[in-house]
Amino acid sequence: MLEIKKAEKQFGERTVFSGVSFSAEAGETACIVGPSGCGKTTLLRAVAGLVPLSDGTVLLDGEDITSWKAEQRPVVLLFQEALLFPQLTVLENIAYGLKYGRRKLGRRARLAESRAMLQKIEMEQWENAYPVELSGGQKQRVALARALVLKPKLLLLDEPFSSLDASLRQSLRTWVRSFLREEEVTSLFVTHDKEEAVMMSDRLIVMKDGAVQQQGTPETVYHQPENRAAADVIGDGLYDERFIPASSLTIGAADGYSGIIEHPQFMHGYRFYRVNVPSLKQTVVVLSDTLYEEGEAVKLSVTEEKENGAL
Ligand SMILES: Nc1ncnc2c1ncn2[C@@H]1O[C@H](COP(=O)(O)OP(=O)(O)OP(=O)(O)O)[C@@H](O)[C@H]1O
Ligand SMILES: [Mg+2]
């Protein structure tokens, strides 16, 4: 459905990225994960036609849309902020694009389709509310409905949950993930959050230092980062010529990597320690039930090799 070939973008003399190639099948969510400033938003804007690529091709549903104007492209971009029209009700916000956009419908059809969409996002009772009356998560659901009512061939999402608090982000991710799957929406999602990337994607693309470092299923990329850059972005472990998953590391053995305990972390009922390993200039979070002090020097040893990080 979507194929990006050798995409390159320069601003003046500066190359933001080059040689970016990947594809997504119909109904799939491809996710680009990378640090701030690696060009994620720029790439999405280029796919939407809002900025030209310096080089490369964008194919959508078999058609080369590289030089199409933004308004001709059957894609919708969803931003970090919901950006609803404050003077319009929820229903009017959803219906808006059907009046002026690529899919022009009469008033009755507009309202019927918008109401159906409102039902899908489980917000029927908010039809006549104004955006100011909604929570952050509700606003993002309305923004999603407003995008999907246009039946785009491709939905572009630019860190749509980053303005929400942690627990809301978590529940909205799950909701959006199953919504996109049920509706079989092809989407390209960008984030700098690795947990979000692994959870949301069918296909994961790691971008860093102006290039794609690795791509594959979220399972593969998470458990087997191929290089240091990919490991920095996505991995939980250490990279020392090869990737050593955190699940293979033990604190407290007589020898191994010298590390310094930074602080404990409590998750899912377990105690972990964030350990700094100066020789590798990396930090890693390791499970341990022993008590350590902050600043304590420890050794991290590699226990047995575990396939795919599984215990
Ligand atoms: N219109 C522009 N003119 C010049 N430079 C730009 C322009 N837009 C973006 N850049 C530069 O391109 C680089 C990539 O920016 P971009 O916003 O795509 O990063 P990002 O990966 O989305 O980061 P973040 O995670 O912080 O949103 C940055 O260095 C930015 O300064
Ligand atoms: Mg961005």
CA-to-CA distance for 211 and 208, rounded, in angstroms?
6
- Which residues are 155's β-sheet partners? 76, 187
CA dihedral 231, 234, 238, 244 (to 10 degrees): -90
Q: Ligand 1: which atom is nearest the Cα of residue 42? A: 18
For residue 191 and ligand 1, the question of a CB distance below 6 A is answered with: no
Instruction: Write out the two tokens for 83.
Output: 């950006």
* Gap from CA of 230 to ligand 1 centroid (Å): 20
Question: What count of other Cβ atoms lies within 10 Å of the Cβ of residue 148?
Answer: 21
- CATH number given to 2-219: 3.40.50.300
**Which residues of the chain does CATH 2.40.50.140 include?**
237-302
pLDDT at 236 over 80: yes
Atom 30 of ligand 1, residue of closest alpha carbon: 37
Share of the chain above pLDDT 90, in %: 73
Instruction: Write out the two tokens for 26.
Output: 């119909």
Atom 14 of ligand 1, residue of closest alpha carbon: 39
Q: Which residues contact 244 (CB under 8 A, 6 or more apart)?
A: 237, 238, 302
State residue 124's pLDDT score: 92
For residue 194 and ligand 1, the question of a CB distance below 6 A is answered with: no
> Can you say whether residue 252 is alpha, beta or left, with left for phi > 0 and alpha for psi between -120 and 50 degrees?
left
The per-residue DSSP string of 94-161 comes to: HHHHHHHSSS---HHHHHHHHHHHHHHTT-GGGTT--GGGS-HHHHHHHHHHHHHTT--SEEEEESTT
Q: What is the mean pLDDT of residues 190-200?
A: 92
**Which residues of the chain does CATH 3.40.50.300 include?**
2-219
Shortest-distance ligand to the CA of residue 192: 1
pLDDT at 311 over 60: no
Q: Which amino acid is at 143?
A: A
State residue 306's pLDDT score: 55
148-190, pLDDT tens digit by residue?
898 889 999 999 888 777 877 888 888 888 888 888 889 999 9
pLDDT at 31 over 60: yes
Q: What is the CA radius of gyration of the chain?
A: 22
- CATH number given to 237-302: 2.40.50.140
Whether residue 35 contacts residue 192, with contact meaning beta carbons closer than 8 Å, is answered with: yes
pLDDT at 304 over 90: no
